[in-house]
Structure 1
Amino acid sequence: MRDATTASVLASVRRLEAVAFRAWPAEQAIYDGSWLIRLAKGHPSKRLNSLNPLDPGDRRDIAGRLARAAERFAAIGRPLTVRLTPLAPPELHAHLEGEGWERFDESIVMSADLAQAATDGIDQLPLRDTRRFVEARLAISGEPDSLCEALVSILDSIRPETGLFLLQSGERPTAVTLGVLDGGLIGLEQVAVAQDLRGQGLGTAVVQAALRWGQLHGARQGWLAVGADNAPACALYRKLGFAEVYRYAYYRERKRP
């Protein structure tokens, strides 16, 4: 019998994975058993272009299923990327390691009880202009303007209620985040602060604004994913009451010399 603690953790992972998929939807979602293939031809996001195993017991025909998934990725001009969470079968992890796949970009999924979290920021009404939000996000992050249409399409395809939060200094965007309300949870996506203004409380302000909005609309728990190597952001979220739930990382085949 599975350990009760492990079962409880896996239940939390399953719930957060489900809301995360809805919060950041791919153009295509294809199932091979419990392995979910997510594809987005218009945007290079790893989360939108990855193979996501969702059952630790689904370990049949690993090599064959990877090969078939690789064909789907190749059809849109992308290499196969596998995203491993605690829901992935250990045998798949062992297979990738044994075949010399490269592990990269670990992320931490964190959550917070909003009754205990620091959500005492000022009330702020979210934007209704998706394009304005996306343009601000790209300006802050330094990502190319060519991603604008794809990002607008992604945000417009999110089915749960969303809140777009933007801080500005004059006409200059300084911080943004996207809040997604889903089943008593609010997820934070696209958090960004202008690089030369970091450490001045803007990240705290924009995150608190989104959490406060979520709480006022019935959210009881917040969640987010942050790069494991992003120490300042991890420290900020912990200060606001977030704690680690689980981690995930990506795998890709190593380039041959």
Structure 2
Amino acid sequence: MSDHDTILSLESRLMNAWPAFDYQAYDGWILRLANGYSKRANSATPFMPDAKLDDNLIDYMIVRFLDANVRPTFRLTGLQDSSVDGMLKARGFTEIEPTFVLTAPMSGDCEPDPEVMIEPQVSKRWVREAALSYGGDKADDATLIQIVSRIRQKAAFATLSLDERPVAWGLGVVERGYVGLYDIVVAPDLRGIGLGRRVVASLMAWGCREGAHSAYLQVREENEIAVSLYRTLNFTPTYRYTHRVMPGGA
């Protein structure tokens, strides 16, 4: 499998696992919109090898973003033509948030942690608690529940409780041999003691039971603690992406 094939394979699973509200196709690019909640669901992403941009297409997509009150954002995965990054840079688009897409083979352990509750459907409580622990822009539980309620693949909503207090959460989505891991979050006062690892391992075990041979996730390069955690679970970088965002926002 070529690098482009690998990226397309994982990007298609990512798009299904984290649905947007609106999809628009433009000459090898998919523009997604979801009320501004998360860049992966509110950006234009190349969806064919060597996808190109020109000034007219950039201008057209900028208007689509602004009409939706979303900051124009291009998510560059390596599928795009080599000229794209320089073209956006020349127009003042700023590069932010370089991110790894990591993958790991299944270890063969298909037994989730017994203290991690895994539910097949999202609950208002899961969304409320996970969003609250995220805080900041991701505290918008109303938009989060709209996104995860649109998932059409088999999903697992994980909650780890200590002494009956929910303290860590995560989402797994399985599709065609891969389990994608999303929204891994731990209560702010309990971070750094291995709770996130337990949720990740349990979602991987769930994926193993559902027939997955590999897991994938995304993590910002600057998040060295998370990168180190995932390395201990045998995750390695498969590709990386960056974002080019228009200065000044929407």
Please give the alpha-carbon distance, in whole angstroms, between the structure 1 residues aligned to 2:138 and 2:84. Answer: 37
> Which residue of 219, 225, 228 maps to 1:232?
225
Pairs within 5 Å for 1:1-257:
8-41=2-35, 43-59=36-52, 62-115=54-107, 122-123=113-114, 124-127=116-119, 128-143=121-136, 147-255=140-248
Deviation at 1:171, TM superposition (A): 4.5
Distance 1:222 1:27, change over 3 A: same
Q: When the two structures are superposed, what TM-score results if normalisation uses the length of structure 1?
A: 0.89
> Which structure 2 residue ranges, 5 or more long, are not aligned?
none
Q: Percent identity among equivalent residues?
A: 30
Distance 1:73 1:212, change over 3 A: same
Contact 1:52/1:84 (CA < 8 Å) preserved in 2?
A: yes
Give the total of aligned pairs. 247
Q: Which amino acid in structure 2 is aligned with residue 208 of structure 1?
A: A
RMSD: 2.0
Q: Which amino acid in structure 1 is aligned with residue 24 of structure 2?
A: I
Task: Give a deviation string over 1:72-99, Cα, whole Å, max 9, x none.
Answer: 1111112211110111111111211222
Task: Give a deviation string over 1:42-88, Cα, whole Å, max 9, x none.
Answer: x43111110112234332x5111110001111111122111101111
Tell me the SS of whatever aligns to 1:126: strand
Q: When the two structures are superposed, what TM-score results if normalisation uses the length of structure 2?
A: 0.92
Please give the alpha-carbon distance, in whole angstroms, between the structure 2 residues aligned to 1:79 and 1:199. Answer: 33
Task: Give a deviation string over 1:99-141, Cα, whole Å, max 9, x none.
Answer: 232100111000011037x776525551244212111202222
Contact 1:178/1:210 (CA < 8 Å) preserved in 2?
A: yes
Please give the alpha-carbon distance, in whole angstroms, between the structure 2 residues aligned to 1:129 and 1:11. Answer: 32
Please give the alpha-carbon distance, in whole angstroms, between the structure 2 residues aligned to 1:209 and 1:17. Answer: 23
Please give the alpha-carbon distance, in whole angstroms, between the structure 2 residues aligned to 1:120 and 1:106. Answer: 33
Q: Which amino acid in structure 2 is aligned with residue 75 of structure 1?
A: D
Task: Give a deviation string over 1:151-187, Cα, whole Å, max 9, x none.
Answer: 1111110010000001122353211110001011100
Deviation at 1:143, TM superposition (A): 4.1
